[in-house]
Amino acid sequence: MALNQALSGINAAEDQLNVISNNIANAGTVGFKGSTAQFAEVYAVTGLNLSSSTVGSGAELTDVEQQFTQGDLETTNGSLDMAISGNGFFVVNNGSGNQYTRDGAFQENANGFVTTASGAYLQVYPPTTAGGFNTSTLTNLQLNTAQSAATPTSTINANSNLDAEDTVPTDPFSTTDTNSYNNASTFSVYDSQGGTHSATVYYVKTGNNTWNANLYIDGNSAGTATMTFNSAGALVTPANGDLSFTPTQPTNGATFPSPMTMNVTNTTQFGTAYAPGTFNQNGFAAGVLQNVEIGTDGIVTAIYSNNQTTQLGQIAVANFSNQQGLQQVGNNDWVATQSSGQAVMGTASTGQFGDIEQGQLETSNTSDTTAQLVNMIQAQQDYEANSQMLGTVSSLDQALFSAVDRS
């Protein structure tokens, strides 16, 4: 029996060394979770036949238990590098079903999809047309690398002050005659293809508290509209503040919205010098993807060169009632089992789920190898002790056989 006991001890120590070796080998693996070997004593008889004098038959490996403690977060500044600070797993799909990982070193493939190094697709909740996200379904996260579509200018908001002390020009209005108008301001507008055009509004005083606004785009007249003010300098007409213009259409195949509206609700006529204020319009040129921002709540936002943004989805996060029941499938991924239970789905920064940190990666929780080396020394000593026991038993058996032969 002693030989079997010593042999089981050697096997147990070897199993422990294998687990420790794997932990150390993955000390630099992003999102890796170390394991510990669990052992139990062995009896050659059943529990019903045990007595106070029964000696065990050795040890056996019962489980390799994963340790899901948080690894340190390391800053990388990669826009697609992510770490979960707290509970939860990223959900990825390799085409055969969902898998779960703490490895947030994602990358973009040739088709713009965000994937793991092994090609599994990162899963997100898709945005809805009404705003927010559809948390009842999952989809692959795809970066919209195409240009952000242009939007033509349809509305202009002017915030100016016209000088009440100005006199009425005597010259007929002409854009080339500065004596024919009181003030002018130039700004940019955009056509349906995102082309930029120069727009100028010329203000001409026509009488006390009465003004004309003449809008020209690329030197072509878009029409004239009238404004009137009360004695306090506040706008009276148009009542809704909207001046309507009909721009000349471009010759490049693009179009301008017609009518084009200039809202002058915040324009005043005070007895101070002309102040152009601000001219804001709702058009913009086409843009290309410049950056991706990921919030701690997992919302993925594309930022384009035209200062427009689009929400592409919200990263799905999963957790399990029994993480120890997850099955490792390689590539830093796990799959759910009957023991782990079904995934509890949710979003980061809510309830039991941790925050998503962009530009960081979770290091292996075995990256500090000191504890692993201590365990290795202990396992090595166990191995040597059992080896010595095996040699001792063998020597005793040999002495016994020699004594029997002499008799």
Residue bearing tokens 């689009």: 310
Q: How far apart are CA 59 and CA 8, in angstroms?
A: 6
For the chain, where do the domains classified as CATH 2.60.98.20 start and end? 155-281
Would the pLDDT of 360 be above 80?
A: yes
| Model confidence band, residue 238 (pLDDT cutoffs 50, 70, 90) | very high
| Model confidence band, residue 141 (pLDDT cutoffs 50, 70, 90) | very high
As a dihedral over the C-alpha atoms of residue 113, residue 117, residue 120, residue 123, rounded to 10 degrees, the angle is: -60
| Model confidence band, residue 16 (pLDDT cutoffs 50, 70, 90) | confident
Would the pLDDT of 27 be above 90?
A: no
The pLDDT, as a whole number, for residue 19 is 75
Mean pLDDT across 377-388: 71
Please state which of the ranges 129-138, 291-300, 303-312, 380-389 shows the lowest mean pLDDT.
380-389
Let me know how long the chain is: 407
Would the pLDDT of 379 be above 70?
A: no
Quote the mean pLDDT of the chain.
88
Say if CB 304 and CB 288 are below 8 A apart: yes
The pLDDT, as a whole number, for residue 124 is 98
**Domain 155-281 in CATH 2.60.98.20:** yes
In tens, the pLDDT along 82-115 reads 999 999 999 999 999 999 999 999 999 999 999 9
More confident residue, 170 or 378: 170
In terms of phi and psi (left: phi > 0; alpha: psi -120 to 50; beta: otherwise), the region of 388 is: alpha
Residue bearing tokens 């996260």: 141
The pLDDT, as a whole number, for residue 2 is 63
The pLDDT, as a whole number, for residue 193 is 94
Q: Is 327 helix (H, G, I), strand (E, B) or coil?
A: strand
The pLDDT, as a whole number, for residue 307 is 86
In tens, the pLDDT along 209-237 reads 999 999 999 999 999 999 999 999 999 99
Going from the C-alpha of 45 to that of each of 2, 56, 214, the distances in angstroms are 16, 9, 104
| Model confidence band, residue 184 (pLDDT cutoffs 50, 70, 90) | very high
φ and ψ of 372, to 5 deg? -65, -40
Q: Where does 26-129 have alpha helices with state H?
A: none
Would the pLDDT of 17 be above 90?
A: no
Say if CB 364 and CB 27 are below 8 A apart: yes
| Model confidence band, residue 243 (pLDDT cutoffs 50, 70, 90) | very high
Query: How many of the other CB atoms lie within 10 Å of CB of 88?
Result: 27
Say if CB 227 and CB 238 are below 8 A apart: yes
In tens, the pLDDT along 249-275 reads 999 899 999 999 999 999 999 999 999
Would the pLDDT of 298 be above 70?
A: yes
In tens, the pLDDT along 68-88 reads 889 999 999 899 999 999 999
Residue bearing tokens 């701690």: 296
Q: Is 163 helix (H, G, I), strand (E, B) or coil?
A: strand
Say if CB 382 and CB 16 are below 8 A apart: yes
Going from the C-alpha of 321 to that of each of 17, 190, 333, the distances in angstroms are 30, 55, 17
